Structure 1
Amino acid sequence: MRQYGLFVDNEMVEPATGEYLDVVNPARGHVWARVANARADDVGRAVESARRAFESGPWPACRAADRAKLLIRLGQLVEDHAEELAGLQVDENGKLMREMLGQTRLLPEYFNYYAGLAQMPTGTTNPLHVKDMVNYTVREPLGVVAAITPWNSPLLLLAWKLGPALAAGNTVVAKPSEVTPVSVLRLAELAAEAGLPPGVFNVVTGLGSPTGTALTGHPGVDKIAFTGSTATGRAIAAEAGKSLKRVSLELGGKSPNIVFADADLDSAVNGLVAGIFGASGQTCMAGSRILVQESHYDEVVTRLAERAEAIKVGDPRDAASEMGTVACQAQFDKVRHYVEVATADGARLVAGGKPAVVDGFPDGLFMRPTVFADVRNDMRIAREEVFGPIAAVIPFRDEEEAVRTANDTDFGLAAGIWTGEVQRAHRVAGRLRAGTVWINNYRKTSYATPFGGYKQSGLGRENGPDALHEYTEEKSVWVDTGQGVKDPFNPRA
Structure 2
Amino acid sequence: MTTITQVKTYLNYINGEWVSSLGKKVDISINPANKNEIVGYIQSSSGEDVDRAVEAAKRAQKEWRRLSGAERGDYLYKIANSLERRLDEIAETMTMEMGKTFSEAKGETMRGVAILRYYAGEGMRKAGDVIPASDSQALMFTKRVPLGVIGVISPWNFPVAIPIWKMAPALIYGNTVVIKPAQETSVTAAKVIECMDEAGIPDGVVNMVTGAGSVVGAAMVNHTDVNGITFTGSNATGKQIGQAALARGAKYQLEMGGKNPVIIAADADLDLAVEGTISGGFRSTGQKCTATSRVFVHTEVYDLFKEKLLQKVKEIKIGNGMEDTSWMGPCASENQLNTVLSYIEKGKAEGARLIYGGERHTGNGCENGFYVQPTVFEDVTNGMVIAQEEIFGPVLALIKVDTIEEALAQANDIEFGLSASIYTKDIGAMMSFIIDIDAGLVRINAETAGVELQAPFGGMKQSSSHSREQGQAAIEFFTAIKTVFVKA
TM-score (norm 2): 0.96
Q: Is the 8 A contact 1:301 1:373 kept in 2?
A: no
Residue number in structure 2 paired with 1:272: 277
Residue number in structure 1 paired with 2:384: 379
Tell me how far 1:9 sits from its aligned partner. Answer: 1.3
Residue number in structure 2 paired with 1:489: none
Residue number in structure 2 paired with 1:73: 78
Q: Give the alignment's Cα RMSD to 1 decimal.
A: 1.1
Report matched runs for 1:23-38 at 5 Å.
Answer: 23-30=29-36, 31-38=38-45
Report matched runs for 1:330-349 at 5 Å.
Answer: 330-349=335-354
Q: Is the 8 A contact 2:70 2:123 kept in 1?
A: yes
The CA distance in 1 between the partners of 2:315 and 2:477, in whole Å, is 43
Tell me which moved more, 416-425 or 336-345: 416-425
Tell me how far 1:309 sits from its aligned partner. Answer: 2.2
Tell me how far 1:369 sits from its aligned partner. Answer: 0.3
**Which residue identity does 2:370 align to in structure 1?**
L
User: Based on CA coordinates, which of the two structures has the bigger radius of gyration?
Assistant: 1
Tell me how far 1:37 sits from its aligned partner. Answer: 1.0
Residue number in structure 1 paired with 2:95: 90
Q: Is the 8 A contact 2:112 2:165 kept in 1?
A: no
Tell me how far 1:130 sits from its aligned partner. Answer: 5.3
| Corresponding position: 1:40 with 2:47 | yes
Q: Is the 8 A contact 1:417 1:429 kept in 2?
A: no
Tell me how far 1:106 sits from its aligned partner. Answer: 2.1
The CA distance in 2 between the partners of 1:360 and 1:283, in whole Å, is 25
The CA distance in 2 between the partners of 1:89 and 1:438, in whole Å, is 28
Gap regions ≥5 residues in structure 2: 1-6
SS at match of 1:164: helix
Report matched runs for 1:2-401 at 5 Å.
Answer: 2-30=8-36, 31-55=38-62, 58-129=63-134, 132-401=137-406
Residue number in structure 2 paired with 1:471: 478
The CA distance in 1 between the partners of 2:297 and 2:123, in whole Å, is 44
The CA distance in 2 between the partners of 1:247 and 1:118, in whole Å, is 23
Tell me how far 1:134 sits from its aligned partner. Answer: 2.8
| Corresponding position: 1:448 with 2:454 | yes
Q: Is the 8 A contact 1:228 1:252 kept in 2?
A: yes
TM-score (norm 1): 0.95
Cα-to-partner distance string for 1:243-296 (whole Å, 9 max, x where unaligned): 111111111100111110000000000000011001100000011011111111
SS at match of 2:376: strand
Q: Is the 8 A contact 1:313 1:358 kept in 2?
A: no
Tell me how far 1:129 sits from its aligned partner. Answer: 4.6
Q: Is the 8 A contact 1:309 1:352 kept in 2?
A: no
Tell me how far 1:132 sits from its aligned partner. Answer: 4.2
The CA distance in 1 between the partners of 2:283 and 2:445, in whole Å, is 17
The CA distance in 1 between the partners of 2:163 and 2:113, in whole Å, is 13
Tell me how far 1:176 sits from its aligned partner. Answer: 0.6
Tell me how far 1:361 sits from its aligned partner. Answer: 3.2
The CA distance in 2 between the partners of 1:229 and 1:239, in whole Å, is 16
Task: Please point out which of 403, 409, 417 is paired with 1:404.
Answer: 409
SS at match of 1:292: strand
Tell me how far 1:101 sits from its aligned partner. Answer: 0.5
The CA distance in 2 between the partners of 1:10 and 1:325, in whole Å, is 35
Taking only the aligned residue pairs, the percentage that are identical comes to: 38
